A and B are shown apart, each in its own frame.
Chain A
Amino acid sequence: AQSVTQLDSQVPVFEEAPVELRCNYSSSVSVYLFWYVQYPNQGLQLLLKYLSGSTLVKGINGFEAEFNKSQTSFHLRKPSVHISDTAEYFCAVSDPHTGFQKLVFGTGTRLLVSP
């Protein structure tokens, strides 16, 4: 079964600094990858997705992620963070063999941006 690992449970960073949130998934077969953000007391909002094509994916709010098949990674990056980026970030994988809509999520990374 697919699994997703987000090694960093919490990442503190200063405003305007760059950040990278790490995500690794378990299988090298074709999968689809997503990053979602969750603000307090809210649902999940899609930041970006990788389905196929270019390995560098750009999303909303200045975020981007790079798909690396050989390392089974899909790390999320932002060159300059804002206070408003403080939230929990979830990496998720969709495996066509188990159902496209069955997302398997990582445990999440809490991004804490301070002034």
Chain B
Amino acid sequence: KAGVTQTPRYLIKTRGQQVTLSCSPISGHRSVSWYQQTPGQGLQFLFEYFSETQRNKGNFPGRFSGRQFSNSRSEMNVSTLELGDSALYLCASSPPPSGGPYEQYFGPGTRLTVT
């Protein structure tokens, strides 16, 4: 079974621009979560989607948004990029059913650099 895939793997953007990152979960997985990893703040939860609905949200400004499609693929968007948004963005998917603490399978991440 193919793992979680994230595109692109690397991205360079300029301050003020917006960016969209994509995540394809493992086939059959319906829950997709996003995390930001930075040297200063570590790994932080952004949001989780299940069946096209945002089910949980971390403590990030409204510039960070996401969505999930009917095939469970997910995208996250960051508008008005700031230098501090430079990070590794990780996507993770979980198998059904989603009513418990099932392990999350992580993708390789998208490395975003904001200049």
Contacts and interface: CB of A to CB of B under 8 A. Distances in A.
Interface of A: 32, 34, 36, 41-46, 49, 51, 90, 92, 94, 96, 98-108
Interface of B: 4, 31, 33, 35, 42-45, 48, 55-56, 58, 90, 92, 94, 98-109
B101 A51 contact: yes
B49 to A, nearest CB: 9
Contacts of A103: 33, 35, 43, 45, 104
A100 B102 contact: yes
B101 to A, nearest CB: 4
A83 to B, nearest CB: 22
Given A51-B100, A100-B102, 11 more contacts: A34-B103, A44-B106, A94-B101, A96-B101, A101-B48, A102-B33, A102-B58, A103-B35, A103-B43, A105-B42, A105-B44
Contacts of A49: 101, 103
Given A43-B90, A46-B103, A108-B42, A101 B109 contact: no
B59 to A, nearest CB: 9
Contacts of A100: 98-102
What is the predominant secondary structure among interface residues of chain B facing chain A? strand
Given A43-B107, A44-B106, A96-B101, A101 B4 contact: no
A101 B108 contact: no
A7 to B, nearest CB: 14
Nearest to B111: A41
A42 B37 CA distance: 12
Contacts of A32: 101
Contacts of B98: 100-101
Given A43-B4, A49-B103, A101-B104, A107 B56 contact: no
Nearest to B109: A43
A102 B42 contact: no
B106 A101 contact: no
Contacts of A36: 106
Contact of A101 (B43, B56, B107): B56
Contacts of B58: 102
A69 B42 CA distance: 25
